[in-house]
Amino acid sequence: MKKLPAALLGLALAACATPGAQAPQGAVQAPIADTVTLPDGGTMKEALWYSEQVRVSGRIFLPAGHGMSSNAPAVVLAPGEGATAETLDTYAAALASQGIVALTVDYRGWGRSGGHIYLGERVDTYDKMRFSEQTPELVIRRGRIDPEHQVQDLRNAITFLQGAAGVDRTRIGILGIDLGGGHVISVMSMDARAKAGVAITPLVFGQGEEEKSFLPDAAAQAAMIRLARDGAPPRTASEARERNELERRLALSEYKPCWRLDAIPQTAAIRFIVAGADDQIDNFTHAHAAARELKGPHDVQTVPGALHKLTPAQTAEAAKLAAEWLKLRL
């Protein structure tokens, strides 16, 4: 076997920022260098963990006086579609002020987290090759929206919190906004470690649709054939933008959190917080419909007059409602 150098060449491809994104997607943001002191005496700093070998970044908010001997509950916070961890600071700070450790997440390919890694060229291997040393080119893609990967990132964040000093691993919750609100349903249906959740202006797809195996329409079928026959990673930023949008549409067409409601344990508690004048979704076919199917403790709270994107004052109101629920239920 010919021995090749072990060096790897990375090629980063940026996706255009999806509406709502808070950070440039061309490169990973610089890390948070220092611990930040919060107004109430708590602290915030960067946290790092791994999700399927990709390093994921988040912002961990610790209550005042938190230490190695603490036994605090903890909550993972999930951003909405195209958003990053910073968009959840108000919610995380509200939780920390109530004695709850809060961890906001940058999904893979967003904010300070690493990207999706692909081989940029074909590398031939087969079963008899028990070991080979290659020099492949890597393509690192950013700005992808893949809900199932994001759910896995959130579950790995739960695992990270369970190993954090001063956290009671039996009292873990999850909070999410928009698409992240749908992820609250998915995570709690798949992972009994999440004991309580809050879904804010959530997208809970699947209501009213027959639960059956996926059957693509003509457009989706054509897109799937294209990806199967020409699935090599994109080589330019414009190609990456086009591919990200194509894969986003396909992934969201199959993502049905509503179908997972039956799997949420009866002991799990969920609060939905909806915008009273939501201009993007119908609350009755998302949050209210989901709440009716839950077996455990739940309620629906409304921020009066709010559009889907909450104002700073409305965000503070929603954060108060979220902290109230999670403090009670964890």
As a whole number of angstroms, the distance between CA 254 and CA 259 comes to 11
Neighbours of 83 (CB within 10 A): 24
Nearest to 86 by CA among 40, 174, 148, 24: 24
**Is 271 in contact with 198 (CB distance < 8 Å)?**
yes
**Is 206 in contact with 193 (CB distance < 8 Å)?**
no
- Cα of first residue to Cα of last residue in the chain, in angstroms, is 57
Residue 137 has a pLDDT of: 84
Mean pLDDT by runs of 10 across the 330 residues of the chain is: 30 38 45 79 95 94 95 98 96 97 97 89 78 82 95 98 96 98 98 98 95 92 91 86 93 96 97 98 96 97 98 98 98
**Helical axes 147-162 vs 179-190, angle rounded to 10°:** 60
Largest Cα–Cα distance of the chain, in whole Å? 69
The set of residues, in sequence order, having a beta carbon less than 8 Å from that of 67 and lying 6+ positions away, is 165, 166
Residue 237 has a pLDDT of: 87
As a whole number of angstroms, the distance between CA 137 and CA 156 comes to 28
Q: Which domains does the chain have, with CATH numbers?
A: 9-329 (3.40.50.1820)
